[in-house]
Structure 1
Amino acid sequence: MPTPIKGRGASTYLPGRFETQTSEAVDDGWAVDESEEFAEARLRTDVRPETARSIISRNNSPDVGFSQSINPYRGCEHGCSYCFARPTHAYLNLSPGLDFETKIFAKTNAAEVLRRELSKPGYVPQPIALGINTDAYQPIERKLGITRQLIEVMQETKHPFSLITKNALVERDMDLLAPLAEQQLVSVHFSVTSLDPHLSAKLEPRASAPHARLRAMRRLSDAGIPVGVMVAPVIPWINDAELESVLEASREAGASSAGYVLLRLPYEVAPLFRDWLDAHYPQRAEHVMSTINQLRGGKDYDSQFGKRMRGEGVYADLLANRFKLASKRLGFNASRQQWPWLDCSKFIAPLPPKKPSLQGELF
């Protein structure tokens, strides 16, 4: 039975799918010396600087509301047990489990690279989604400020962008976001999984508590910044009963748009989430996974566009109808994706970086 680790979402160093060798701990039967000398090392977060060669990622997925995105970090200390981005750490020969939330890569030159990419002659502005794979406001952002540097470039070039976060740290940047909102250049969405702080602490151990996200939502809304809520992910028999209450609380906190996403379990996320269920809800685990399999055509996950975010079947239809009715009652626009209109016409391309002179600089 997996043992929960305080402050972490995963409980194991699950090997990535590209590994050729794996190791496994075996109890040899000898007594364990529980003295401090033999105590298990504390899991600390290791932040590693990374020099990015490019910063804007592009997609043509028909079921997401953006075509461009930026991720200032790889890996995420929030430790969400269900994070669909965990498998990306396998490309680094690291574990999608504990490594994903303890070994963080910070793109320290992100703002410089963004300015360079926006200055290219053929660049056509489209809204950029900031912080999609991993949260742009995860704890290390408080110290490094990479996300703030990116927002400063957006402000300088009047480039439209949206944010989605689980961290109240976004309040720090209200001085930048409020003027941009006046020009229809930014919107902010908060991902709220549950209003129960105990459940939230299990699901996303290092994200802001639910009440802190709602407070940040209210403060941004009061400052004139358009805010929305994503109930994501909806997990059968874990937080699905809270769909309406999360929407109601978010509406009361100033949210003007809403959406939801069904739990996604690609690649290594499925066994990691099964471990999480066994550790926290062992009596419910089989029922949860049985329902997920029914939603995914008998599998843990179905990656087809149009199905991966919503699932299919009776439960999926019921969830969609509940969301539609609650959104209508609360005054939300009930369309599937909610990204408020952002103005691309104000974009001012930055000057391209100077090329070094072969003769050097005389003055």
Structure 2
Amino acid sequence: MKSTASAHRLILVLFLLIVISLPAAEPDPRFTPEMAEFVKRFKGGGMLNDGSTRPTPAESLAACKVADGLRWELAAAEPMVRQPLNMHFDERGRLWVVQYLQYPFPAGLKITKYDQYLRAIYDKVPPPPPNHFKGADRITILESTRGDGVFDKSKDFVSDLNIARSVVTGRGGVWVLNPPYLLFYPDKNRDDIPDGPPEVKLSGFGLEDTHSGANSLAWGPDGWLYGAHGSTCTADIKGVKFLGQAIWRYHPVSGDFEVFAEGGGNTFSVEFDAQGRLFSGSNYGQTRGLHYAQGALYIKGWSKHGPAMSPYRFGWFEHMAHKGYEPRFPQAMLYYEGGAIPQYEGHIVVGMAL
């Protein structure tokens, strides 16, 4: 009996030693303790994971239904590229891709609270590269060395970015939208290696919601660099303040910054047609995106996004009218003028989440 009791005491002591030696649970680095508890109890939260296995790229391709006269091909897949958010073809036919791997929480920041619209308030403003809080995002160049449209070669132009949203090449380097900054990486000899640290061209893009920040860099026909801005982030750039969705532009020589048009849904994508007209997608109900005219005001949530920037606007434009299939919305669009698919020439082609 004594030996049994001694054994039990020994087991208990060992158990206590193990428990005592276990490290305390690390606090979530993304939140203050109060916000961690709020997120835990928020009824809209939870793990978005049903335990299903991931299909292979080939299985995903086989499961897609393709319209008559079209062919569906796999150009790139994991592990070459993961979580692509934005892409841009350069003049050499290579595809530049933003891999949005740090999403949804910026590295090095803590959320101190959310406002009534679930806009996150952070404890600090992140510094720009090279002295930034290193994240997981990267800008990757994909190349089809065989010229068959299948990308078989990849190279990271820059990595360790923190909530990188868009990339475009031009004017002697590479432009990266990495809120709160618009960055320019000089690459004068075009060797795909930055000549040095990036130049901060703009600062003040909000980070309150990484689903809907500044996005979609695109060169306009006027030589300005255009971008979109989502609905749940603020902006204060060179004294220009706006709350929510807009199309903005930056002049790469003069440094001027302007809001081209304001309003819309959760504005995402910038698309120009051959006439210089600007289109953008949105997640606003059962709509089909917007045709943005300079200086125009478009519908928005007035209590959330505030009044019009100009007091001399007395009305607003709606999303583009459409007929046929009604549900869902396009988050990105293409005004097709390529010539290779005649039946779609002059039509807007959209990708819609189902």
- Structure of greater Rg: 2
The structure in which a higher percent of residues are strand is 2
What TM-score range do you get, normalising by the shorter chain? under 0.3
Higher relative contact order (CA 8 A, sep 6+): 1
Question: Could you tell me the TM-score, scaled by structure 1's length?
Answer: 0.27
TM-score by length of 2: 0.27
